Structure 1
């Protein structure tokens, strides 16, 4: 609202200043300069005076107006994004979350039948899957309703918290090493990087059985960066991008591709590495 009001004021000033300039010039000319300045010369100077005021005062006002319009557009975009996140959070809560709850109730009813053997084993596996999925959905809802702030370096804090949560659940040792300059990333890149690291950590939480988890973010000498999630878990039994039911890394790959980053998922020694990298403008 403040940006909108400021924009209106600037528009009125831009419209009024040339008129006021001519009015003031005519008053000064007739009141003080008429004995020294002929009518023809005064008329000749008038447009140059208006031009001088336009190039100084009005041009500065135009610059401020453009800045105000950019801030207003950013504000509208942020509000639209928050509304969309809230809508998605409601849909997750009212749809998937409720369905998972009902599925858990059905599994509890199956337990009451006192079944044994393969059926009980299958039910226990399904219950664990439902529990993990329900945790993921709840975390997604929380993230949607409280999105990480892209302002300043505060946006890095949720990444550290995600690593801590993963380490707490898996009882692994966590190491967070981050040196990517905040100013080297756009707001969109921060959001995408946060989503990719989160998905990679969720993959570690669900499948890796790791004792050590690392998040590494480092700049290169050309304005780019490398960001990696590494763990000492069991690794990949096959190509993780082709494994059935394993969508997390494919989502990370697609996000990276969409924003122009390189993506890599591989085993290096005793570590599984999921890596994103951005090529700097000065790189050969």
Structure 2
């Protein structure tokens, strides 16, 4: 039923019920039902209709209102993300590009000497910052309105492949996660965690390939990101100012997921889980 049709039912049905009851009472039930008894039965009948029908319809209207409010709030958040992505692209990203051009020009204009400034180090720093900004833009613009029947280009598995390709990693993907019924926010948070794990593996673990497996549905799932790199110690990661896993943990906690990090020499496994008695794992940040 539509919202408008439900409102009309709430308005019309009590009137019709009382009208039909009065006609039947006066035409057919007068020999059996006195006027006083009929007057008592009328509000009782109206109350019964309110309990059995109107209560359900009002509850239905409330659910529709709540869904509408959630959709509006989600739309506002997505519009804010898109606006922030545009501002990052038009502001910081363009400024970094201009800065890299100026660095190249300054390097060419400076005469070569033994005490020359290390332009390569500065250029590398600019490149790293530019990469982080563009990854943030990509995260903000992750498609979230995937509908059943659309092409696979906007599915989570396709976006995971794109994330690995951006880091120039060979991906071994076993994606058994059912992608229907996922909320847009849950999709974006899960993909952001995957991106953070993949970027960390490419940058810190020194790997050329990565393995990602998943299974379950939106209510009960397990996702693992596995690399066979050098591994790390959580305390060293904190001392070096790397907060990637801390950000992942905050995302997982916000969504009610469990995050388990297992790392040793020879590889790291990051597991994100919901359902099945998931517990938050150890590890501080990388």
Q: TM-score, normalised by structure 2?
A: 0.77
Say if 2:221 is the partner of 1:206.
no
1:58 paired residue number: 54
Say if 2:164 is the partner of 1:163.
no
Deviation of the 1:197 alpha carbon: 0.8
Over the residues paired in the alignment, what is the CA RMSD in angstroms?
3.6
Say if 2:159 is the partner of 1:179.
no
2:246 paired residue number: 250
SS at match of 1:233: coil
Q: Which moved more, 1:106-115 or 1:70-79?
A: 106-115
SS at match of 1:179: strand
Say if 2:189 is the partner of 1:192.
yes
| Cα deviation digits, residues 23-69 of structure 1 (max 9, x gap) | 33223323444355321232122123212322333133123212211
Q: Partners in 2 of 1:124 and 1:92 — Cα distance?
A: 25
Compared CA separation, residues 52 and 282, structure 1 to 2 (3 A): farther
Q: Which moved more, 1:264-273 or 1:95-104?
A: 264-273
2:43 paired residue number: 47
Q: Which moved more, 1:150-159 or 1:172-181?
A: 150-159
2:82 paired residue number: 86
Q: Partners in 1 of 2:212 and 2:158 — Cα distance?
A: 8
Deviation of the 1:159 alpha carbon: 4.3
Q: Partners in 2 of 1:185 and 1:241 — Cα distance?
A: 33
2:107 paired residue number: 111
Deviation of the 1:250 alpha carbon: 2.6
Deviation of the 1:214 alpha carbon: 0.8
Does the aligned pair in 2 maintain the 1:224–1:281 contact within 8 Å?
no
Does the aligned pair in 2 maintain the 1:266–1:272 contact within 8 Å?
yes
1:100 paired residue number: 96
Compared CA separation, residues 118 and 265, structure 1 to 2 (3 A): farther
Does the aligned pair in 1 maintain the 2:260–2:270 contact within 8 Å?
yes
> Between Structure 1 and Structure 2, which shows a larger proportion of helix residues?
1
1:69 paired residue number: 65
SS at match of 1:241: helix
Q: Partners in 2 of 1:119 and 1:251 — Cα distance?
A: 39
Does the aligned pair in 2 maintain the 1:148–1:158 contact within 8 Å?
no
Does the aligned pair in 2 maintain the 1:150–1:191 contact within 8 Å?
no
Which sections of structure 2, spanning at least 5 residues, go unmatched?
A: 280-286
Q: Partners in 2 of 1:155 and 1:94 — Cα distance?
A: 26
1:271 paired residue number: 267
Alignment equivalent of 1:133, drawn from 129, 132, 139: 129
Deviation of the 1:179 alpha carbon: 3.2
Q: Partners in 2 of 1:115 and 1:267 — Cα distance?
A: 47
Q: Partners in 1 of 2:18 and 2:239 — Cα distance?
A: 75
SS at match of 1:175: strand
Q: How does 1:13-28 map to 2 (within 5 A)?
A: 13-28=9-24
Q: Partners in 1 of 2:214 and 2:80 — Cα distance?
A: 29
